[in-house]
Amino acid sequence: MNKDQVKGRIEETKGKVKEAAGVILDDEDLEVEGNVQKHVGKVQAGFGDLKEDIKDDIDNI
């Protein structure tokens, strides 16, 4: 697991928490902020997954 995967998963989790807090507190701005943060984390984790896949493919050559 590389840094991008770890950081992305952390950001995704933080975004989910913010989004849920926004729903509970009826704070639409916080909910939207959490949703954006969650998706940014997913992209970063996906980038890390891609890097890991490429590294594995290179190691198998």
Number of domains in the chain: 1
Residue 61 pLDDT class (50, 70, 90 cuts): confident
In angstroms, rounded to a whole number, what is the distance separating the alpha carbons of residues 57 and 41? 24
What φ, ψ does residue 26 adopt, rounded to 5°? 55, 45
* Digit-coded pLDDT (tens) for 12-52: 999 999 999 999 999 999 999 999 999 999 999 999 999 99
* Digit-coded pLDDT (tens) for 2-15: 999 999 999 999 99
In angstroms, rounded to a whole number, what is the distance separating the alpha carbons of residues 61 and 29? 48
Range of the domain at 38: 3-59
